[in-house]
Amino acid sequence: MRDAFTTALTKLAEKDKNIVFLTGDLGYGVFDNFESRFNQQYFNVGISEQNMIGLATGLALEGKKIVTYSIGNFGTLRCLEQIRNDACYHDVNITIVANGGGFSYGPLGMSHHTTEDLSIMRAFPNISVLAPCTEHDASEATTALINKEGVGYLRLDKDSAKDCFSKDPFVIGKSRRYKEGKDLTLIATGGILSEAYIAREELKKLGIEARLVGMHSIKPIDVDEIKDSTQNTGGIVTIEEHNKDGGLGSAVSEVCMDLKMIPKKFLRIGLDNKFSSIVGTQQYLRSRYEIDNKAIVKKVLELIK
Amino acid sequence: MMNISELKNLSLRLRKHAVNMTNAGKSSHVGSILSMADIIAVLYGSVMNFRPNEPKWTDRDRLILSKGHAGAGIYSILAEMGFMKLEKLKAHCKNGSDLSGHVSHRGIPGVEISTGSLGHGLSVAAGMALASKINNKKNKVFVIMSDGECNEGSIWEAALFAQHHKLDNLISVIDRNKLQSINSTEETLKLEPLLDKWKAFGWSVVKIDGHNHQELYKNLIHFDEGKPLCIIAETIKGKGISFMENNNLWHYRSPQGEEYEAAISELENKNA
């Protein structure tokens, strides 16, 4: 997804001199081309995330469109108060990009496991929270957030759903429906849509037809799709590479309760309030924490039996 | 541009506002506001370029109050300069008012940014100064910080950035009253030698009397090409009211009853 982001960013910067990219000393080699082409629009601010968001706010208040870049939790949690007080309260055009959602950096350990970002970021007013599910999403989300006034959070995963394609326009606050099905709706956010896709195909072999939705926009969330899935399918299963508390499953639950519409079946698949002290590839950790395609199939079968 | 006598009168009016506002709003930080009254008087009275009837004028000089708890001081000077009516100051900290204890920009023309949590202002100011450099603008960006605020790591992140990028359009004024929330700065987390620290960070640094209008003016217009400027303004917390001076009780205590009367009377006598 990072390449899709970088390509989209470069295209935008070609046309818009007001775009300024700040990195917290991360992305070795990735932005060399960008830096050489847009020297006045690129700043490596050093390992100083709090300062980075403050700078971003100052620049944005002067009319610049800012993209901040870091990995995992550094560009969000380390400077959370700057995001709240400086960026969000002043409602400035800043896109906060975190590379390495979920277990993207699985082998690197707990510090690099980004598994609470969606819930924490969506708690603020004045922010859009996006977790692209596909490469296309990542590219379009980059453009949408940079061109939108206000603060945006963009979570980039290592994995993406490569078999999912959509002709629907990318809209912040909407989702993309990739497969139809009446028995159930699988709603995934982020690259883990790839697991939901495989699970959906496996369930089909077992005679279960599931709708497949990529919820790339966590805030605002696609209320219409949640409503339709509740009314017209046999239930909702949410899938996220993220702690269950406050993430996609919570957001969907909130919508259902607000609408006074209870899905016939409901299950949240995510991390059960745990830090992972073990390491491994993204795939390994998904399997270990039962959020991979096999676990999704197993949990769905238990839910609907 | 105000002369010294006019600046002194402005400082005195700001001190009266500080006592009246913290009294009416039953709010804290009167000592912190009194401490910086002369600094903001000189900045707005004689140094900064701005247009009260056009608060967002692009060529204006910017001022960021990073020690946001002294917000009443900024509201007062803005009202004195004509950004809003003096009458509005009475709403400070009252129910439904947008004049919050810690300075907020929303609904208040002339306030550049909202602060209240320490350690934010210098980074935002550096961002503004960088934008001016990119846009080839000649304006300056001033930021007022407290000395206790220099405990925050983010200040030093911003300090590194500003010198690295040669932001000579950035001027930070440290209100060096040597007191922070509970104790003195040196008892809490030793800051001295503070001047050497800023110097080591690549800034142009001066230490001056933060209540001397002439000295403030001379140094606030100082320009050192290629270097951001740090003015360590030595001040007295609670300056101007004898029983508040250097007494940290007045970081939190609100002047009420006899104490309020005594404070106002002392300022009135200075007027005479």
Residues of chain A with Cβ-Cβ distance to B135 below 8 Å are: 62
Q: What is the CATH number of domain A176-304?
A: 3.40.50.920
Convert the pLDDT of each residue in B239-268 to its tens digit. Answer: 999 999 999 999 999 999 999 999 999 999
Convert the pLDDT of each residue in A58-83 to its tens digit. Answer: 999 999 999 999 999 999 999 999 99
Contacts of B163 (CB under 8 A, 6+ apart): B201, B202, B203, B227, B228
List the single best residue of A17, A62, A67 to mutate versus B (max B Cβ within 10 A).
A62
**Burial annotation A49-59 (CB, 10 A radius, 16+ → b, else e):** bbbbbbbbbbb
Cβ distance of B161 and A89 shorter than 8 Å: no
For all residues of chain A together, what is the average pLDDT? 97
Cβ distance of B125 and A60 shorter than 8 Å: no
Q: How many CB atoms lie within 10 A of CB A292?
A: 24
Instruction: Please check the confidence at residue A210 and state whether its pLDDT lies above 60.
Output: yes
Q: Is A50 on the interface with B (CB under 8 A)?
A: yes
DSSP A82: I
Q: Where are the domains of chain B?
A: 4-271
Residue with tokens 């370029």: B49
pLDDT band at B271 (very low <50, low <70, confident <90, very high): low
pLDDT band at A305 (very low <50, low <70, confident <90, very high): confident
Q: Do A2-156 and A176-304 show the same overall fold?
A: yes
Residues of chain A with Cβ-Cβ distance to B112 below 8 Å are: 61
Instruction: Please check the confidence at residue A199 and state whether its pLDDT lies above 90.
Output: yes
pLDDT band at B164 (very low <50, low <70, confident <90, very high): very high
What is the C-alpha to C-alpha distance for residues B130 and B162, in angstroms, rounded to an integer?
9
Instruction: Please check the confidence at residue B231 and state whether its pLDDT lies above 60.
Output: yes
Q: How many CB pairs under 8 A join A and B?
A: 94
CA dihedral A277, A281, A284, A287 (to 10 degrees): 80
Q: What is the CATH number of domain A2-156?
A: 3.40.50.970
Convert the pLDDT of each residue in B113-162 to its tens digit. Answer: 999 999 999 999 999 999 999 999 999 999 999 999 999 999 999 999 99
User: Which phi and psi (to 5°) does residue B49 adopt?
Assistant: -95, 125
pTM: 0.96
Average pLDDT of the residues in A221-245: 98
Beta-carbon-side half-sphere exposure of residue B172 (alpha carbons within 13 Å):
34
Instruction: Please check the confidence at residue A13 and state whether its pLDDT lies above 80.
Output: yes
Q: Is B153 on the interface with A (CB under 8 A)?
A: yes
Question: Which residues make beta-bridge pairs with B174?
Answer: B145, B232
CATH number, domain B4-271, options 3.40.50.970, 3.40.50.720, 3.40.1000.10, 3.40.980.10: 3.40.50.970
Cβ distance of B154 and A59 shorter than 8 Å: no
Q: Is B120 on the interface with A (CB under 8 A)?
A: yes
Q: Where are the domains of chain A?
A: 2-156, 176-304
CB A214 within 8 A of CB A178: yes
ipTM value:
0.95
Average pLDDT of the residues in B58-83: 97
pLDDT value of residue A300: 98
Convert the pLDDT of each residue in A123-152 to its tens digit. Answer: 999 999 999 999 999 999 999 999 999 999
Average pLDDT of the residues in A90-115: 97
Instruction: Please check the confidence at residue B272 and state whether its pLDDT lies above 90.
Output: no
